Amino acid sequence: MRFLLRRTVFYLVTAWAAITVNFLLPRLLPGDPVQAMITRFQGRLSGDAVQSLYVLFGLDQNTSVLEQYLSYWGNLLTGDLGLSFTFFPTPVSEVLGQSMPWTLGLMGVTTVISFGLGTVIGVYAGWRRGTWVDALVPVTTFFSAIPYFWLGLIAIAVFAVNWQVFPAAGGYPAGMEPGFSGEFAGAVLYHAVLPAVTIVVSSVAGWILGMRNMMVTVSAEDYVLVAHAKGLSQRRVMISYAARNAILPSVSGFALSLGFVVGGTLLVEMVFSYPGIGYVLFQGVNAKDYPLMQGVFLVVTLAVLVANLLADVGYLLLDPRTRREAW
Amino acid sequence: MNAKTRAGLALLGFFGLIAVVGPWIAPYDPSAMGPDLLQPPSGAHWFGTTMTGQDVFSQVLVGTRGVLVVGLVAGVLATVLSIVIGVSAGFLGGAADELLSALSNIFLVVPALPLIIIVASFLPDSGDLLIAVVISLTAWAWGARVLRAQTLSLRNRDYVLAARATGERTWRLIVFEVLPNLTAVIASGFVGTVIFAVLLEITLSFIGVASISNWNWGTVLFWAQSNQALSQGAWWWFVPAGLCIAFLGTALALVNFGIDEYANPRLRSAGRGKVGFTPVERS
Amino acid sequence: MNEVVLEARGLTKHYRRGARAVEDVSLVLRRGRVTALVGESGSGKSTVAKLLARLVPATSGEILLRGEKPGRFREYCRSVQMIFQDPFASLNPVHRIRYTLTRPLKIHRRSETPEQLLEAVQLPADFLDRYPHELSGGQRQRVAIARALAAQPSVLLADEPVSMLDVSIRLGVLNLLRDLKERLHLAVLYITHDIASARYFADETFVMYGGQVVEGGDSETVTQHPAHPYTQLLIASAPDPDRPATSTPTPLGEPPSLGSPPDGCRFSPRCPQATPRCWTDAPPRCSLGDGHWAACWLYEEVVA
Amino acid sequence: MSVLEVRGLSVDYGTLRAVHDVDLTLERGEVLGLAGESGSGKSTLAYAMTRLLPPPGVIRSGTVRYKGFDLLSLAPEQLRTLRWNDIAIVFQGAMNALNPVASVATQLLDVFRAHRPSMPRAARLARCRELLHLVGISPDRLDSYPHQLSGGMRQRVMIAMALALEPEIVIMDEPTTALDVVMQRQILEQMMELRAALGFSVVFITHDISLLVEFSDRIAIMYSGRVVEEAPAQSLYRAARHPYATGLLGSFPALRGPRRPLRGIPGSPPDLRHVPSGCPFHPRCASAMDVCTARTPVLAPVDQHRSVACWLEHENRGAT
């Protein structure tokens, strides 16, 4: 259990680091865009709204940096991430609250599918090496090099514009009132297909390549030769001797590459104007909406940390060596 | 040097050439407006034209330089950072190792894109070089992690101990005994970082965070996206740039594959036959 | 003639994770003589070599070079050199042999040429332009010996120099080491798990078990008349073609875990003649005549 | 009566010829020692017999007759059912031979799952406990993982696994090289007791010929992919005929008896990339003749129990 404890401590430190970076960014970088924002919305800003923006972006010079830091944490813990300028006057936390479920849904499902699919295909590609399956490698290399958002553009051009099979944008039909009805859920799924497929196709290639290489390396290990010598069935050797060991680095790799996959997913949301965090970020960027952007960064980072912790638990279950100390 | 590496290098060379000569051989000035608006590819405009009559082919040609410059600069900076942090963490051990590897793990776990978007949008004018520096600050973590692991394993190899036993100084041990054995890892780390930097840079331009004054493939897509190229069926506006990105990425990946196979002989194609069932070819 | 050149007194090494690898080891290396250190893997014999080469700091105990405390590491390694076990790992695969041999010559400002070094280990000069992977195991080990000679040391620490070589060429390398010892008047520490080679090559032999030296004396006495039960077990287990297969079964038992050594004699859990006393108190060194001693309660009445 | 006959077996590794048309016979209940150094092809020969050679190994010629049929022409499924059921292997690198992520029990039960589908689970578990007890390991180690076992214990688990289906033949590839001399003796003595009790035949592969003299009935010495001498263990030890055999036996310093200076064998072990012409040993052989560099000697019987591949032995050594 020491392994999990160490990992949790690491994630807490990382979370602290991300929050501190968020705190320091506006203070370190040149230019003071927030002050301009406040003057523009001068009339319609309440007293404490201005105060929270001052705290967030360290504008009141009279308090020391440490006090600002403490009050920054104070705001954070009460969920006050300041006001969003693009969706004025709704607070950032509310905006994120609405868009987070969409992203979690889309990203959660697609990441699991593409990891699972990639691993299975990778196992097979690695095991059947030297046969026609090897042609899969250059193809997957090509797909893994395609940027997520560009594939999204192509998907829209082909399936939404030319064949009109799928909607081109949005999370659900404009007119429909969001609620927990079957019909609404159907519409959501119908809208989610194209973005989801885009993410899976462009991210699965990475898993296939990684897993295939690991399978090739593991197949040359002694214990796989022993498994063959024991006369076990090909399937049994492939799965519980080769794949079972090859998947370990893949799982730890999975945890570490989440940060990269998240980036890609946010972009697909932009291209599809899918009402998730990515699209919100895209709007925030255009409007230089710093409170919103920093809020998105924090939330995304915390989500990635939680996902990493889950992946570590998965690794723990798969690898007995980390579970029980050596002899 | 197998077929994969050769193909990758050839493709890379092709893009490199275009990066150098692109602006000179481009038939039109990429930003110059023209009379024929939104024309599909034709003799005059191989990749067709934009909403405002600009020649897409010239934009893609000139854009190649921007992509490669930022990719390479970020790649070099990040690789230098990963060597310094990774090798010293692996070699020094103890508290320094704890600190440096925690640092690299933090940079690895934290999603790079949102962070860079914020940093880039804060900076007043984010030109190519500034973007390259910003990208390299988040791109070194993966290389550092791999290099640390490699250095740890090399550090207590007999030939390093033996060199120390003959009286070599520590810095000479790192430079002459450990580093030469890391070239394959550093090379594949560098190529991997260039891929990461290219994709990131194009993404930043596509979102409009990076300044759109100088051309690169991302800016082409930015204008295509903001002028609803899609809904007007102007496929020629966004397809070529995207294909170039994919081909460049593939070329880099193929080169990386060649390096991996050089470093890990097991990956080389071991010819026919499956493990566990030796072929019998009795003449 | 065989004056003491390197002496270790009460050398002890405990690792952070609690492993007590070496416990109070004292030994003396004389010029022109080979001292063998025999023991199973995990007995701490390699750690002793690394301690003597000052590649690893000792937890306690001291090392005396020609009677005084050694100075800077660079001067120390001019007189004490080491050869490692794995010929495939002791030469940097990236450098040609020429580089590997010229470095020590330059560091210690010796006048010899790399060609002379190769000649001293019976290798042709054209090996200088080759890479380690182009050489056989035996040839690589000879290059490693040449590198150690470059500093013109007076002490050579050989950590299992031949155990990874093919049997047929082991003696070639051992005989080379013996000639060098005689010609250059070297003091050699020979570390091995093969007690028969210790008898063949070394003048004196020390037997190590669980981080401690349990028996010592000249090789012939220790191997032909072993006193300590562990030495007897080691000799009884060594392959012996003259003995018919069905001999007395030796006791079962695992090598000691250095993590939590039992108090008293560390061999007691596996010792056929263990007495209650062995479980509790560590045995003293008992002298058995002309330099032969054993740390075992069986010889209690002749405590050294 | 022979249980396994290898005739004219040749194996290539990519472009290198690792085994040159080897003849070998294993009698029922016999321990056949296979001695040789690096590049001798002893392991390649053993793994080729049950087609376990990893790529790029290819079997070029020869037959391996077992119970009347040729193992090399069996269909994959037939060979699979025969593996471990009839021929089991104790591997060298016990450190890496056990699946690091599966418990000892799982790896033992795998054998029954593949070969004894009808055997009830309770019987399988009982058999596993019995096997561990047989090799001197307490049955509560069943659910331990390989990284929780010492080197000696891991090797004993390998032996237990090999004996699970009471095979006809057990091939031991350097079973104790990674272990200490005390553990080595315990395991080998245990192995010999099991052989006496269960009656299987053993192919014992090792570079340590003094071990073979003590533990095997007959010994075949291999050099650069060929068998150079084959004879009963004691008579080979007393009077080896092939120069390499005598040189090898003379490379082991004696622990007992008089201390005599030894020379070992000059030169370096064979390199498959450039094999010398004629007899591969001639560059290192003190009594090499012209014919030795010209033509390769063939393994031929010298008396009722011994065959040697050396021109010194054969009368037509004059013919160049």
**Which of C94, C99, C105, C152 is best to mutate for the B interface (most B CBs within 10 A)?**
C94
What are the structural domains of chain A?
A: 2-77 (no CATH), 92-326 (1.10.3720.10)
Return mean pLDDT, chain C: 88
ipTM of this model? 0.86
CA distances from B227 to C49, C218, C240 (A): 75, 93, 89
C249 pLDDT exceeds 60? no
Q: How confident is the model at residue C261 (pLDDT cuts 50, 70, 90)?
A: low
Beta-carbon pairs below 8 A across chains B and D: 45
Domain assignment present for residue C187? The answer is yes
What is the rounded end-to-end Cα distance, in angstroms, of chain C? 26
Q: Which positions in chain D touch C255 (Cβ < 8 Å)?
A: 150, 152, 180, 182-183
For position A141, what pLDDT does the model report? 83
Domain assignment present for residue C85? The answer is yes
pLDDT in tens, A134-193: 788 888 888 888 888 888 888 888 888 888 888 877 777 777 777 777 888 888 888 888
Closest CA to D12 of D3, D4, D20: D20
Share of chain B above pLDDT 90, in %: 12
The pair of structure tokens assigned to D268 is 């370096």
Burial of residue D269 (number of CB atoms within 10 Å: 0-12, 13-18, 19+): buried
Q: Which positions in chain B touch D62 (Cβ < 8 Å)?
A: 282
Enumerate residues 85 to 114 of chain B having a beta carbon within 8 A of any beta carbon in chain D: none
Domain assignment present for residue C289? The answer is no
Alpha-carbon Rg for chain A, nearest whole angstrom, is 24
**Which of B266, B267, B278, B283 is best to mutate for the D interface (most D CBs within 10 A)?**
B278
For position A326, what pLDDT does the model report? 40
Domain assignment present for residue C138? The answer is yes
CA distance B141 to chain C (A): 27
Count of structural domains within chain C: 1
Note whether A207 and A122 are within 8 A (CB).
yes
The angle that helices A244-272 and B94-109 make with each other, rounded to 10 degrees, is: 50
For position C113, what pLDDT does the model report? 92
Domain assignment present for residue C300? The answer is no
> Residues with Cβ < 8 Å from A260, sequence gap 6 or more?
B111, B112, B196
**Which of B266, B272, B275, B280 is best to mutate for the D interface (most D CBs within 10 A)?**
B280
> Residues with Cβ < 8 Å from B84, sequence gap 6 or more?
none
Distance CA C249, CA C232 (A): 14
Mean pLDDT, residues B131-158: 88
pLDDT in tens, B155-196: 888 899 999 988 888 889 888 988 888 888 899 889 989 988
Mean pLDDT, residues D217-240: 93
Domain assignment present for residue C275? The answer is no
Strand partners, C157: C82, C189
Distance CA A209, CA A219 (A): 15
Instruction: Please judge whether A14 and B202 are an interchain contact, meaning their C-beta atoms are less than 8 angstroms apart.
Output: no
The reply to whether A131 touches chain D by the CB within 8 Å rule is no
Q: How confident is the model at residue B271 (pLDDT cuts 50, 70, 90)?
A: low
Q: How confident is the model at residue A75 (pLDDT cuts 50, 70, 90)?
A: confident
Q: How confident is the model at residue D319 (pLDDT cuts 50, 70, 90)?
A: very low
A327 pLDDT exceeds 60? no
DSSP conformation class of C20: -
Share of chain C above pLDDT 70, in %: 92
Note whether A169 and B231 are within 8 A (CB).
no
Q: Which positions in chain B touch D61 (Cβ < 8 Å)?
A: 282-283
Closest CA to B11 of A208, A213, A134, A141: A141
Mean pLDDT, residues D254-268: 85
3-state SS of D118-170 is CCCHHHHHHHHHHHHHHCCCCHHHHHCCHHHCCHHHHHHHHHHHHCCCCCCEE
Give the domain extent around C219.
Answer: 4-262
DSSP D83-97: BTTTEEEE-S-HHHH
Q: How confident is the model at residue D181 (pLDDT cuts 50, 70, 90)?
A: confident
Instruction: Tell which wins on pLDDT, C26 or A44.
Output: C26
pLDDT in tens, B86-95: 988 888 888 8
Of A14, A162, A285, the CB nearest to B110: A14
Lowest mean pLDDT among A43-47, C15-19, C101-105, D287-291: A43-47
Taking phi first (over 0 means left), then psi (-120 to 50 degrees means alpha), and beta for anything else, what does residue A326 get?
beta
Distance CA C50, CA D166 (A): 47
Q: How confident is the model at residue D317 (pLDDT cuts 50, 70, 90)?
A: very low
Taking phi first (over 0 means left), then psi (-120 to 50 degrees means alpha), and beta for anything else, what does residue B228 get?
left
pLDDT in tens, B191-239: 989 988 998 888 888 888 877 677 888 888 888 888 888 778 788 888 8
Return mean pLDDT, chain A: 82
Instruction: Please judge whether D269 and C254 are an interchain contact, meaning their C-beta atoms are less than 8 angstroms apart.
Output: no
What are the structural domains of chain D?
A: 2-86+167-316 (3.40.50.300)
Instruction: Please judge whether A226 and D91 are an interchain contact, meaning their C-beta atoms are less than 8 angstroms apart.
Output: yes
Closest CA to A246 of A278, A209, A276: A209
The reply to whether B275 touches chain D by the CB within 8 Å rule is yes
For position D320, what pLDDT does the model report? 43
Return mean pLDDT, chain D: 89
DSSP conformation class of C301: G
Domain assignment present for residue C15? The answer is yes
For position B226, what pLDDT does the model report? 84
Instruction: Please judge whether A288 and B260 are an interchain contact, meaning their C-beta atoms are less than 8 angstroms apart.
Output: no
pLDDT in tens, B34-73: 888 888 888 888 888 888 888 888 888 888 888 899 899 9
Enumerate residues 41 to 70 of chain B having a beta carbon within 8 A of any beta carbon in chain D: none
Beta-carbon pairs below 8 A across chains B and C: 56
CATH number of the domain where residue C54 is located: 3.40.50.300
Any idea of the CA torsion for B131, B137, B140, B141, to the nearest 10 degrees? -130
CA distances from A295 to A257, B106, B107, B110, C79 (A): 22, 19, 18, 14, 65
C40 pLDDT exceeds 90? no
Domain assignment present for residue C295? The answer is no
Highest mean pLDDT among A280-284, B238-242, C105-109: C105-109
CA of B275: which chain D residue's CA is closest? D54
